[in-house]
Amino acid sequence: ILDSYETFVEPRRTLPYRIQRLTNITPAMLVGAPAFSAIAPRLRALLGDAPLVGHSVGFDASFLRKMHLAERNALLDTYELASLLLPTLPSYSLGTVAEHLGVAAPTHHRALADAVLARDVLLALEARIRALPDEVLADLCELAPPLVLPASLPLHQERTRRGLSSGSNTTTFARAINAQLRMNPNVLDLHVATLADPAPRPLVARTDGQRGEIRDISDAVTSALTQRQAALIELAAPSDSVEAVLGPAMAWALPGAQRLVIAAATPAAARAIVEVHLPRALGRLATPPDAAPTVALCAEPRDYLCLHRWYGPLRTAVAATPETMRGLAKLTVWAHDTATGARDEITLPSMEAPAWDLVRGSATFTETPGCAYRERGWCFARRARDAAASAQIVVTTHAALFASGGPTALPAADGYLLTEAHLLEEGVMASAAHTIEADALTRTLDCLWRRDGRGNGGLLDRAVRAIPGDTGQNWGNTVGRAREAATAFFAALSAVPADLPPAGKGANASEGAPQ
């Protein structure tokens, strides 16, 4: 720390109460505080032309630039950098990031304290960058040029420090392996390669000291499972809802080694059942370790990373937005550490979600013959499915449970327990229906073929170069016409009035006639 400066500023307005509660700054503290114009020269001299570091620093810089300060200073955002390097955090607030990195944060919402905290967070994130494997660092730099994602500048500086060349880091020998095995040799660097056995793991119970199940709920669950009947149970307390039914279900399943399938509304809720609620339920039953059931978590193929697509050309062929590029960069860091490849492990906001669509699994790749990743046991979706086949307790989602056969089919069970039944209709519709959205369709077509001021691009453009004659160009023209037709189709749909009369109420409808 070469210098520091901190001062209150006269706000020229009444201090809002919500700001007082947030910062613990009171109007009395601002009595006699200087106006911003009085401190501007001191602040300008302090900043100079140095880069400005902060958490969502663009927000802070906008106020300075409104006052004609820091107009040419580069910005380094620890929020953006943390989102790239810590892809599984549920939140990227400064306090959450600092806590995850083990950085002490004694004071919040004070200018100097937050500035020092942002400095410490930056240093911790730089240490994370230095610990990245060469291949991950190279992939991140290729995906995220500084002009697209300014937060990636420290990544490129680290690549330069290591002396790694730009462009593909795949050696000639590795390309030869790839040609022989039909899979990218970098898959051997994934954490999944260190897994010994994909078999389901025993679930170890832990006692949490909570109260036992309510008697009538226990009787209802046990009776329904024993007699193979349906029971609809409504519970008022959300904290007890899952455990109250899991306890008697476990008591029914364990003695006779009955297979039980538990379905939750979302993959995240299913994971919470495996990691939190099931151990609590078993703890209440005082289940000995040797009697612990094997548990497998199995969602739909689309909820897992597909290595066939991850190492394919799509990531580099698509003209991605900065948000999609950020999502791909986060996936690059996560893919090197994940043991399950499950979507719910990583935090991708809606703006970054298209990145997942580029690399997610599907029934096509799970079942396609000849996939080297699946044949050698690397397929995340197939590993989850195989584990479910030999587990006593299978935890899944509503959508996966009701998928009609195919690769998402789960093994037959002796009993079924569906949590969050009020969301069941959405899960059934998700498995039985298909939605086509204009943006998703045009994005897919652009991945295949696009033409802009720089020429042609997309996956087909790569294939065209190896095909003599006009065949490749005809493919591109066909995709181009399909895109034009899709644009016209959705434009026509948008012109349909939203207030059409309901069936049977139209002007030409005869009374009583079916419509």
pTM of the model: 0.77
Can you tell me the distance from the alpha carbon of 362 to that of 305, in angstroms, rounded to the nearest whole number? 9
User: Residue holding tokens 């996956």?
Assistant: 459
Q: pLDDT-derived band of residue 273, with 50, 70 and 90 as boundaries? A: very high
Q: Is pLDDT at 175 greater than 90 in this prediction?
A: no
What pLDDT digit, counting tens, does each position of 278-334 carry?
988 888 887 777 778 899 999 988 899 998 888 876 666 566 788 888 899 999 999
Q: Is pLDDT at 92 greater than 70 in this prediction?
A: yes
Q: pLDDT-derived band of residue 199, with 50, 70 and 90 as boundaries? A: low
Q: Is pLDDT at 510 greater than 50 in this prediction?
A: no
pLDDT for residue 499? 55
SS3 416: strand
Can you tell me the distance from the alpha carbon of 278 to that of 242, in angstroms, rounded to the nearest whole number? 9
Can you tell me the distance from the alpha carbon of 369 to that of 155, in angstroms, rounded to the nearest whole number? 39
SS3 468: coil
pLDDT for residue 507? 47
pLDDT for residue 315? 63
**In the chain, what percentage of residues exceed pLDDT 70?**
79
Report the 10 Å Cβ neighbour count for 380.
27
Kindly state the average pLDDT of the residues 363-385. 81
SS3 426: helix
- Tell me which DSSP letter residue 476 carries: H
Q: Is pLDDT at 515 greater than 70 in this prediction?
A: no
Q: Is pLDDT at 170 greater than 60 in this prediction?
A: no
Question: Which residues does residue 393 pair with via DSSP β-bridges, in sequence order?
Answer: 260, 295
| Selection from 407, 409, 432 nearest residue 261 by Cα | 409
User: Residue holding tokens 């032309």?
Assistant: 49
Can you tell me the distance from the alpha carbon of 306 to that of 362, in angstroms, rounded to the nearest whole number? 8
Q: Which two tokens stand for residue 207?
A: 């006692």
What pLDDT digit, counting tens, does each position of 98-147 carry?
999 999 877 667 888 889 999 999 999 999 999 998 888 988 888 877 76
Q: pLDDT-derived band of residue 513, with 50, 70 and 90 as boundaries? A: very low
* CB contact at 8 A, 325 and 148: yes
Q: Is pLDDT at 43 greater than 90 in this prediction?
A: yes
pLDDT: is 214 or 156 the higher one? 156
Q: Tally the C-alpha atoms within 13 A of residue 356's C-alpha that lie toward its C-beta.
A: 20
Q: Which two tokens stand for residue 352?
A: 């970054």
Element holding 77 (H helix, E strand):
strand 75-77
Residues ≥6 apart with Cβ < 8 Å to 12 = 35
Kindly state the average pLDDT of the residues 468-493. 83
CA distances from 160 to 127, 153, 157, 165, 338 (A): 16, 11, 5, 8, 27
Q: Is pLDDT at 475 greater than 90 in this prediction?
A: no
Q: Tally the C-alpha atoms within 13 A of residue 325's C-alpha that lie toward its C-beta.
A: 22
* CB contact at 8 A, 87 and 330: yes
**In the chain, what percentage of residues exceed pLDDT 90?**
29
What pLDDT digit, counting tens, does each position of 231-266 carry?
888 776 555 568 888 888 998 998 888 999 999 998
Q: Which two tokens stand for residue 385?
A: 């499915």
Can you tell me the distance from the alpha carbon of 182 to that of 200, in angstroms, rounded to the nearest whole number? 29
With residues binned 3-state (H G I as helix, E B as strand, rest as coil), the percentages for the chain, rounded to 5, are 55, 5, 40
pLDDT for residue 180? 60
Residue 109 falls in the annotated catalytic set = yes
Which range is most confident: 163-167, 294-298, 423-427, 469-473? 294-298
pLDDT: is 176 or 510 the higher one? 176
Q: pLDDT-derived band of residue 169, with 50, 70 and 90 as boundaries? A: very low
Q: Tally the C-alpha atoms within 13 A of residue 121's C-alpha that lie toward its C-beta.
A: 30
pLDDT for residue 497? 63
pLDDT for residue 166? 63
- Tell me which DSSP letter residue 372 carries: H
Rg (CA), the chain: 28
CA distances from 388 to 384, 458, 504 (A): 6, 38, 49
| Selection from 490, 266, 257 nearest residue 391 by Cα | 257
pLDDT for residue 220? 86
pLDDT for residue 471? 73
The active-site residue, picked from 109, 156, 308, 398, is 109
